[in-house]
Chain A
Amino acid sequence: MPDAAHRSDFTLPIAAGVGYKPRHFAAIMADPGRVGFLEIHAENYMGEGGRMVAQLGHLAERLPISLHGVGLSIGGEGRLDQDHLARLARLNAWLRPAAFSEHLAWSTHEGAYLNDLLPLPYTNATLQRVADHIDEVQEALGRRMMLENPSTYLAFAESTWAEPDFLREIARRTGCALLLDVNNVFVSATNLDFAPQGYIDAFPLDLVREIHLGGHAEDVDEHGRPLLIDDHGHKVTGAVWALYDYTIARAGPRPTLIEWDADVPEWPVLESEAARAARSLREAGA
């Protein structure tokens, strides 16, 4: 793909956005407040028609849309699901979103879709496979994508790469950009006992085209050590806001999305989380 096409692959505004939920449709159409863009899960809009698709059409006339895939299984050992890739390409062509992103994770194996973002060993073999799959996706969609860092609860003994280096190398091989989920960094850092600021320092921030923020739940493992669960069911915690401010102080302001997928609140609560992110963006020079 020529460079000119690359520049139009990521056109989200430097603003705060929210993950779209159908229950907020009327509120958003009436007044989106401080919300400058919306993100949708691609798999929820692959029906042939009906209200979901119709409402998305209205929203897309109102606000830029970030298209976020949750089911492509880019880290899968098998081939990418060709039917699913074709559906995704159709949705992308119709919607013409301001960005497309997917996860460094797997979810489908031998035809079974497991509906979770499952972890990968960071080895040379995984790196090659993920890079090949990203090449295939970018070819099918005719655009560059962002790859998102996962939240993890455990590690693979066989891993030989640190996650920031692994993502940097995938981006170098494929030309993809990165989506930095700051809550995921905090969750993984707590669960795997590393310093989240150190992860941010090692991350290729120049490749970040969108940031995610979300809430998590707190648990402990069988040894009494903290175990954070990335459930997107709460407000963003103070520690994650601090890590976000640390990040954009280094990276500069970036399009920032609030994810809230479980126990979804009323619109004013979600909008106020976006307004909080917008404040940080202004302070970082947006």
Chain B
Amino acid sequence: MSVDQTAFRAALLDPEAPVPAGLVDAAGAPAGKRFDVYRNNVAVSLTEALEVAFPVVRKLVGDDFFKAMAGVFLRRHPPTSPILALYGADFPRFLRGFKPAASLGYLPDVARLEQALRESFHAADAAPADAARLQALAPDALMRARLTLAPSLRVIRSPWPIHGIWTFNTTEGALQPPGEAQDVLITRTDYDPHPHLLPPGGADFVEALLKGDSFGAALGRAGAVARDFDLTATLGLLIGGEAITDIHTDEAPDDPLSATA
């Protein structure tokens, strides 16, 4: 009696399924509980991977609920790659359709924030550009400049106060989350990703820069969304977060040291 990997895998992910005939113990009897060791290894290790990946989601729903939810997810969406550091990319979408958690409408967006933090952690390294070069540009040259942003940068938009929820659940003594929409900018300094609250229009500004729009065009996009767009605060987050890695200008450089790298 041969057991192929299709049969093995099907029984592995279904705790109710019979153990495939042909798997035996030392006496040649059906493997029984011995097969459960593999079942357990798969379910427990993938559940642990999700617990490490989504600690705030876990805190919001509680340990038991999270384990049960992870058990449903890992059977419906087993990893498609052996790189478990990024397992769970489908988790936010899964949560949107997971009825038992439907009362927590913000849960999928908190999961998106946590997944983005992991992506940022493993993203490529890039040295920050000298921010003084931005300040040295004449206003019209600045408006025409295009910025390259760090591969570890992420923008998460949400109709929920996800920055407040994340902070409240990760920081001792943090304030209760406000009842408003929040967009988050993730930047990475000294290899640690940090989520920052973006001012209104900030997400539009950064996303425009990411698309390759000029500084002036990005400013226009932000201003169209938020009339009092706080450019200083948004630029402060990008510079403080070492997220601007290159500054492209169309100026003929009169000082070779300030030439575009």
Contact = CB atoms under 8 A, between A and B. Distances in A.
A118 B7 CA distance: 13
Nearest to A108: B82
A106 B82 CA distance: 12
Interface stretch (A3-11, A46-54, A243-251, A267-275): A46-54
B8 A70 contact: no
A74 to B, nearest CB: 12
B225 interface: no
B35 A154 contact: yes
Contact of B82 (A49, A110, A113, A158): A113
Residue in B1, B32, B33 with the greatest tally of chain A CB atoms within 10 Å: B33
B45 A115 contact: yes
A32 B6 CA distance: 45
Given A109-B5, A155-B24, A157-B1, A71 B125 contact: no
A130 to B, nearest CB: 13
Given A50-B191, A115-B79, A158-B3, A229 B37 contact: yes
A204 interface: no
Interface string B7-18: 011001100000
A84 B78 contact: no
A155 B82 contact: no
B4 interface: yes
A191 B38 CA distance: 14
Classify chain A: how many residues form its interface, as a range: 35 or more
B49 A158 contact: no
Contact of A43 (B24, B37, B84): B84
Contacts, number: 144
B19 to A, nearest CB: 9
Contacts of A43: 82-84
Interface in B179-218: 188, 191-192
Contact of A221 (B4, B25, B80): B25
B42 interface: yes
A156 B26 contact: no
A51 B8 CA distance: 37
A103 to B, nearest CB: 12
Interface of A: 43-44, 46-54, 70-73, 76-77, 81, 83-84, 87, 106-116, 118-119, 121, 123, 153-158, 191-194, 221-223, 225, 227, 229
Given A50-B122, A123-B2, 14 more contacts: A43-B83, A47-B83, A110-B9, A111-B80, A112-B79, A113-B78, A115-B79, A115-B82, A118-B8, A118-B38, A154-B25, A155-B25, A221-B33, A225-B25
